[in-house]
Structure 1
């Protein structure tokens, strides 16, 4: 597949300040100017997809069409094995309109306890789509394995405080942004699901200035 090079100004198709901050941090080395859908006053489209990639494409295409600019959209979530992959694509909805992720994390624990589940393995998934106003899209996906622990840390956002990535002693909620991304541009390795998707995207569609 031939990839399209991305330059100039883009829209981050999110109203989530945590996602926006992470995407701006990842884009910074590439000289890309980013504005969010929220800052542009764009409405949030209805996410009717059944997969992360479908919902990411819906958001990216809607923002690109409305703004007349290329748009990034991430659709991501936490998948818990003992809950048959839930909350999955409904991760944000489990937090409700108030975005109460403390309540969502408590719900996960309660449902695991209700099932008598001792298996706390889980993984984060990120589907990252870039869309252009002409309808062209590029899709990149990343995931990170780990397990669930009692909430620790106030960094990050969403379910970060209960997720401990495989091979690490601290949760995402206890890591700095740089530690959570874990990007090593020389090796191409990254830690978080969103950073792993972004590294693949950067290799295909971005060029460092100079």
Structure 2
């Protein structure tokens, strides 16, 4: 492993491609290496705590001296005080997108926040977290359903498009993942 490599722990190919796109730039002097490790899924509502737990476990597996990071993304409904939050992945697997949208049907408030939390361990074993938030609302599915809940989340800054309807470059400029990784990138460069 070279001195400028950083290990990204994910088994999600779509997430990996998006992160590679976001981190690609002339001013970054690091190389992203992917390792799909099976890490514990801590149950809880504290998104930073969940990400830090995974990062600590990943750092222990890859060993000392290797910078490593994990990323967790949550979809938090205002009406449900932040739920499904970190559990959104499991909601999608067990219910599907249409039923998730239907959960909000009786309520006027369809507002939601998409939140990405990055936990990073540097080569010295110091831990850091970076978070990005995008506000929007939940809508009936529009666009491709190939990436999580992108087709049911319409960001306020998207001119009426869901993430799934946006081109990747436009999405990354306003997405919670893009915002979190901009903070992470600044930390790495400095």
Where in structure 2 are the equivalents of 1:101-140 lying within 5 Å?
103-113=95-105, 116-132=106-122, 134-140=124-130
Length-normalised TM-score, structure 2: 0.86
Identify the residue that residue 15 of structure 2 maps to in structure 1: 19
For structure 2, which runs of at least 5 residues remain unmatched after alignment? Answer: none
Alpha carbons of 1:171 and 1:131: their partners in 2 closer, same or farther (altered >3 Å)? same
Q: Does residue 57 of the first structure (1) align with residue 52 of the second (2)?
A: yes
CA positional deviation for 1:94 = 1.3
Equivalent-residue separation in structure 1 for 2:169 and 2:189 (angstroms): 20
Higher strand share: 2
For structure 1, which runs of at least 5 residues remain unmatched after alignment? Answer: 1-6, 183-190
Q: Kindly indicate whether the alpha-carbon contact (under 8 Å) linking 1:156 and 1:172 is maintained by their aligned counterparts in 2.
A: no
Where in structure 2 are the equivalents of 1:32-43 lying within 5 Å?
32-38=30-36, 42-43=37-38
- Equivalent residues, number: 183
Length-normalised TM-score, structure 1: 0.79
Where in structure 2 are the equivalents of 1:42-191 lying within 5 Å?
42-68=37-63, 69-96=66-93, 103-113=95-105, 116-132=106-122, 134-154=124-144, 157-167=147-157, 168-182=159-173, 191=174
CA positional deviation for 1:156 = 6.5
Alpha carbons of 1:147 and 1:48: their partners in 2 closer, same or farther (altered >3 Å)? closer
Equivalent-residue separation in structure 2 for 1:193 and 1:72 (angstroms): 17
Alpha carbons of 1:84 and 1:104: their partners in 2 closer, same or farther (altered >3 Å)? farther
Equivalent-residue separation in structure 1 for 2:169 and 2:48 (angstroms): 25
Q: Kindly indicate whether the alpha-carbon contact (under 8 Å) linking 1:144 and 1:165 is maintained by their aligned counterparts in 2.
A: yes
